[in-house]
Structure 1
Amino acid sequence: MKVSKEKAAQNRAALVETAARLFREHGIDGVGVAEIGKAAGLTHGALYAHFPSKEALAAEALAHGLQIGHERMTRTPDGRAPSLSELLDSYLSEEKRDDIANGCAMAASASEVGRQDETISARYSEGFELMAAVFEKHLRAQKVKGDPREKAIAISSTLIGAIAASRAVLKAQPELANDILRAVRRAVGDIAGEKA
């Protein structure tokens, strides 16, 4: 039975959204195509009708997650652009750290992407450039001392690493996990030229 173009597009979107969530939760290598298909309400055969490989799906799912993250960084729910301070507070919050399924795709996949193919690395690189560009724009507007792009790259890398490290120690040492978020928030504020 032939599926309509509209239904095919819905199925593809369901696969991408489901894969993005599952990859954040379990890692790219921690989820199989059958599991993704089932969670999306489809067969793994349907997955291969849309994507030639799991890697192709992973690249699109990562790009999808990174786009959502970029939208969150550039627009608040009420439609305005968040301030630099709001961005930092939100990204380094316990709530965002604890919500792996809906959290930052960059932090969720940072260590894993290096073991994936070039297509996935390219999507991650594009997402990183977008993230750094958001911070660079804020730093230029604030006329911070030093190179705004270099500082934006440092801030982006630090935030991603902070979430990853905080998640890594959370089960064993919740207090340390929270200390990481607080310490990095202060340090990044210093890099960004925030007044104490």
Structure 2
Amino acid sequence: MRYPKEHKQQTRQRIITTAGRRLKRDGIDGSGVATLMKDAGLTGGTFYAYFASKDDLVAMAVADQMRAQHENIVAQAAPGRAGLEQMIRWYFSTEQRDSIEDGCPNAALLDEIGRSTHPTRQAYTDGALVLIDGFAARLAPHDPRSARLKALGLLGMMAGTLQLSRALADRRLADGLLEQGIRNALAMLDAGQN
């Protein structure tokens, strides 16, 4: 039975989406092709009908996760400082910390992306630039490029704080770190504003 052309694209997108969730939960190295395909309801043998290699899928999943984070969080936030504060408070929530596979790809995958292939690092870089440009547009609406490095620093601080909070076994300490993360990020927004 032949499927319409759209079926292959829909199946490919389903693989990318489910792979993104699995990669965030189990890591890039901890997610084999067979498992990634099983998550999408397919056999491992069909993998090469959709992707040239696991690295190809990883790069596409990273790009997809970064795009989704922008569309679902950054693009939906209010303009100006209110939007930044909204994103910061969402990011440092216990729900965001505790839902790794549905959460931020930055906090879940940065260490592995840094050791990945150039296409994966480029997919991440392209997605990160979209995120930080969304931050920068809220930091300096009349000259977003001037705020790009500050926005990049904000993203780095947020991802690192969330990673550390996820790693702590002491839940009270982890919750306190999230609260401190909010205070630190808001202070970073205010730095140099006078």
TM-score of the pair, normalised by structure 2? 0.90
- 2:67 corresponds to which residue? 67
Deviation at 1:80, TM superposition (A): 5.9
Q: Is contact 2:161–2:181 with CA below 8 Å preserved after alignment?
A: yes
Q: Is contact 2:89–2:182 with CA below 8 Å preserved after alignment?
A: yes
- 2:39 corresponds to which residue? 39
Q: Which residue of the other structure, out of 177, 184, 190, is the alignment partner of 1:180?
A: 177
Deviation at 1:47, TM superposition (A): 1.6
Deviates more, 1:42-51 or 1:60-69: 42-51
- Greater than 6 Å deviation, 4+ residue runs: none
Q: Is contact 2:63–2:124 with CA below 8 Å preserved after alignment?
A: yes
- 1:84 corresponds to which residue? 84
Flag structure 2 segments of 5+ consecutive residues without an equivalent: none
- 1:159 corresponds to which residue? 158
1:57 aligns with 2:57: yes
- Measure the CA separation in 1 of the matches of 2:78 and 2:147: 23
TM-score of the pair, normalised by structure 1? 0.89
Residue aligned with 1:141, SS: coil
Q: CA RMSD in A?
A: 2.2
Deviation at 1:142, TM superposition (A): 9.0
Deviates more, 1:59-68 or 1:185-194: 185-194
Identical positions, percent: 33
Q: Is contact 1:73–1:134 with CA below 8 Å preserved after alignment?
A: no
- Measure the CA separation in 2 of the matches of 1:21 and 1:2: 29
Give the 3 Å change call, closer, same or farther, for CA 80–192 of structure 1 in structure 2: closer
Q: Is contact 1:21–1:102 with CA below 8 Å preserved after alignment?
A: yes
- Measure the CA separation in 1 of the matches of 2:2 and 2:49: 12
- Measure the CA separation in 2 of the matches of 1:34 and 1:28: 13
Flag structure 1 segments of 5+ consecutive residues without an equivalent: none
User: Which amino acid is the alignment partner of residue 177 of structure 1?
Assistant: A
User: Which amino acid is the alignment partner of residue 109 of structure 2?
Assistant: S
- Measure the CA separation in 1 of the matches of 2:132 and 2:9: 31
- Measure the CA separation in 1 of the matches of 2:36 and 2:149: 38
- Measure the CA separation in 2 of the matches of 1:15 and 1:48: 12
Deviates more, 1:3-12 or 1:119-128: 3-12
What are the residue-to-residue correspondences of 1:85-104 with 2, within 5 Å?
Answer: 85-104=85-104
- Measure the CA separation in 2 of the matches of 1:33 and 1:80: 39
Residue deviations 1:58-105 (CA, integer Å, cap 9, x gap): 0001111100000123333xx965711111100111111111111011
Q: Is contact 2:133–2:151 with CA below 8 Å preserved after alignment?
A: yes
Q: Is contact 2:74–2:131 with CA below 8 Å preserved after alignment?
A: no
Give the 3 Å change call, closer, same or farther, for CA 100–46 of structure 1 in structure 2: same
Q: Is contact 1:24–1:109 with CA below 8 Å preserved after alignment?
A: yes
Residue aligned with 2:122, SS: helix
- 1:110 corresponds to which residue? 110
User: Which amino acid is the alignment partner of residue 163 of structure 1?
Assistant: L
User: Which amino acid is the alignment partner of residue 155 of structure 1?
Assistant: L
Deviation at 1:35, TM superposition (A): 0.7
- 1:119 corresponds to which residue? 119
Residue deviations 1:126-177 (CA, integer Å, cap 9, x gap): 122112111111110399xxx52221111010011111111111xx211111
Q: Is contact 1:15–1:47 with CA below 8 Å preserved after alignment?
A: no
